[in-house]
Amino acid sequence: MEDSRYSIQEFIQKTKQEDKHQGLFELETSRLLEINLNGQVWAKAGSMVSYRGNIKFVRERMLEHGLRRLFKKALTGEGTSLMKATGNGKLYIADQGKKISILHLKDESLIVNGNNLLAFEQTIEWDIKLMRRIAGMLAGGIFNVKLEGNGRVAITSHYEPLTLIVTPDNPVFTDPHATVAWSGQLKPDFVTDVSFKTFLGRGSGESIQMKFSGNGFVVVQPFEEVYFSNDSKG
């Protein structure tokens, strides 16, 4: 009897694209997002893996969202740009093999670390949030994007994300480099611990932690993101 294991046919059967009929955003795999495009979405520039149909890609123009956001991007050293995908077809996007999570905002707001934002519907309002108290304290800087309204958002994380519930009597502290997102009603504060840096293995500067108080949630990942500014990418 012929061994059918590892045949091309078996490989195709296991890995071929399947329509799951889940709407605009659907997870083709845990690390590959399928967008059933009929109009326009915003996605992380350079995230396109494949597409079929009639889709055009336009990189975010410098002044597309006004001088205020351009000024914020310059201050934060933000190295992630957006692109518009417009048309009809199936678009597949990913970001360095990171795990993808889809969230449906329903008159809600979410703050996402810019490095963990993959895509969102055009119905979502967004703005870059400056973190003035931490500016210049971390190499490459950290910027966050506030998303609010109605629509779907796709975020990424290295490995499985963990969501921590925040209550007034139980604040949560996180490493900024491992913080993925948090609910919009939370306003993080920043605290430093000189002694804690010894345990983190940091060679210089104070250990910077984010403190979340109030009611909401924080999403973290078991990985410390490395940030690059536009100048450091070469």
Q: What is the pLDDT of residues 26-55, one digit of tens each?
A: 999 999 999 999 999 999 989 999 999 999
At 197 the pLDDT is 55
Q: For residue 77, what is the domain's CATH number?
A: 3.60.160.10
pLDDT at 67 over 90: no
- 15 assigned to some structural domain: no
Reference 228, options 62, 72, 77, 46; nearest CA is 77
- 32 assigned to some structural domain: yes
Q: Give the chain's domain count.
A: 1
pLDDT at 69 over 90: no
At 226 the pLDDT is 66
- 115 assigned to some structural domain: yes
- 59 assigned to some structural domain: yes
- 12 assigned to some structural domain: no
One-character DSSP codes across 112-167: EEGGGEEEEETTEEEEEEP-GGGTTTSTT---EEEEEEEEEEEEEESSS-EEEEEB
Predicted TM-score (pTM) of the model is 0.83
pLDDT tier, 155 (very low <50, low <70, confident <90, very high otherwise): very high
Question: Which has more confidence, 89 or 225?
Answer: 89
> Six-digit token pair at 114?
């810019």
> Six-digit token pair at 28?
């083709």
Cα 169 from Cα 151, distance rounded (Å) = 32
- 10 assigned to some structural domain: no
- 70 assigned to some structural domain: yes
- 94 assigned to some structural domain: yes
Q: What is the pLDDT of residues 137-147, one digit of tens each?
A: 554 446 788 99
Q: Are 157 and 103 in contact (CB under 8 A)?
A: no
Full residue range of the structural domain in which residue 219 is found: 22-227
